[in-house]
Amino acid sequence: MMITLRSVCAAALALTILAGAAEAQIIRPDSATATTQFSSGYVIANAINGTGLPANFSPADAHETYAFGNHWTTANGRTIGESATFNFNTPQTLGGFYMWQHRSNGVASNPYYAVVRFDLVLRDGGGAVLATFPNLTALPNIATAQTIPFAVTSGVRSVQFIVRETQNNNVSPYTGLAEVAFDDCIAVGASGPSDRFACPSGEATLDAGSSGSGPIQHQWQALADSGDWVDLSDGVLVLDGAATCATVTGARGPTAVIGFACTSGRERVNGRQFRCVVGNPCGSITTRAATLHVCAADFNCDGSVDFFDYLDFVAGLDSEDPRADFNGDETVDFFDYLDFAVAFDGGC
């Protein structure tokens, strides 16, 4: 095929469009060493040479079960604190680790080899530590690669994998790995916030559920009456140029908390939609929108509307508790009772 400038541009455009969805090119170590090896059949090279995987494998490919020559396994009694170091001939920018878990269960006489907690230590060519990512976790009994994102780090010449915990509370005298690879950046993902109910004096927590290589940036937004999504800042929630009775904390964090101090103006917040724009070094996405419901009749803020709310409201009315100013006219009177009764009948 003749490669023209046009085809290169088209390919670049296609890659740009697919960024975040396409499988990124994996980065494989050039060499490796380990502090312990079971035998010449279970050396660390088996974890970087593609043994047990198809040619041109990707993280979606399953590694074959444990067999001579396709896994790294430690010597008897050598598990916690042992390590493998993966080396690169040229400096790499890394933002994620692909880990094919040990597949000895049901095969080896001592099962449960899998590493479920570990540290990664990234170093430059002089051996200086560039970054340490402690207590990363992986699941046992998974045949395809598990993706472990970390903060994008440049100039990496080696990555040390240190075993901290193995399956079933370190029961096996052995551990190891089936295969490893790396990526320069793991695309940002976000499960998105769930719809929330909140009481008039309570708060609602919205969680972006973000993942991917760091650093990850968050910007929470609300849907204004104008139809525009507006960026939120910490402090009073302002919509369409007017303050509401709600406050925002964590407007630029993974979790935003919408607090209510609403004796009036609930209707400007009730039913409002919120979402988060999440970005990292290799892209950005916008989460689903979550709807916030302010449950006005949940007077005691216990998450449901029942007779106890009625009793507490009537007591508040008697004592002229400002929270009983249900219609927000700054007096506590029978009209508040009427409005509360309507809300109470409506439930949440």
Given the rule CB under 5 A, which residues bind Ca ion? 46, 51-52, 70, 179, 298, 300, 302, 309, 325, 327, 329, 331, 336
Residue with smaller CB distance to Ca ion, 193 or 202: 202
Residue 13 Cβ vs Ca ion, minimum distance, rounded to whole Å: 36
CA pair distance 7, 4, nearest whole angstrom: 5
User: Which of 273/300 has CB closer to Ca ion?
Assistant: 300
DSSP state of 4: -
Question: Given the complex with Ca ion, which of 183 and 298 has the nearer CB atom?
Answer: 298
Query: How many Å is the maximal CA-CA distance in the chain?
Result: 86
C-alpha span between 140 and 101 (Å, rounded): 7
Smaller CB separation from Ca ion, 82 or 336: 336
Find the helix or strand (DSSP H, E) in which 10 lies.
helix 5-18
Kindly tell me which of 177 and 190 has the beta carbon lying closer to Ca ion. 177
Residues 183 and 195: their CA atoms lie apart, in Å, by 34
Closer residue to Ca ion, CB minimum distance, 170 or 304 = 304
Say if CB 151 and CB 214 are below 8 A apart: yes
Q: CA-CA distance, 183 to 330, in Å (whole number)?
A: 59
Q: How far is the CB of 46 from Ca ion (least distance, A)?
A: 5
Would you say 167 and 112 are in contact if contact means Cβ atoms under 8 Å apart? yes
- Looking at the Cβ atoms of 52 and 202, the one nearer to Ca ion is 52
Asked if residue 298 lies in contact with residue 304, where contact means CB atoms within 8 angstroms, the answer is: yes
Distance, CA of 140 to CA of 307 (rounded, Å) = 49
Task: Give bridge partners of residue 121 from the DSSP assignment.
Answer: 132, 160
Q: Which letter does DSSP use for residue 3 in this model?
A: -
| Minimum distance of Ca ion from residue 17's CB (angstroms) | 33
Q: How far is the CB of 342 from Ca ion (least distance, A)?
A: 14
C-beta separation of 181 from 169 below 8 A: no
**271/261 Cα distance (integer angstroms):** 16
Considering the complex, state which of residue 195 and residue 312 has its C-beta at the smaller distance from Ca ion.
312
Considering the complex, what minimum distance in angstroms separates the CB of residue 325 from Ca ion? 4
What is the three-state SS of 206-229? EECCEECCCCCEEEEEEECCCCCE
Query: Min. distance of Cβ 159 from Ca ion in angstroms?
Result: 17
CA-to-CA distance for 275 and 269, rounded, in angstroms?
14
Shortest Cβ 302–Ca ion spacing (Å): 4
- Nearest distance, CB of residue 35 and Ca ion, angstroms: 19
* Tokens read off for 338: 């009427």
- The CB-of-242 to Ca ion minimum distance in angstroms stands at 21
Q: Which is nearer to Ca ion, 32 or 208 (CB)?
A: 32
Cis ω before 215 (30° cut-off from 0): yes
Tokens of 194: 């769930």
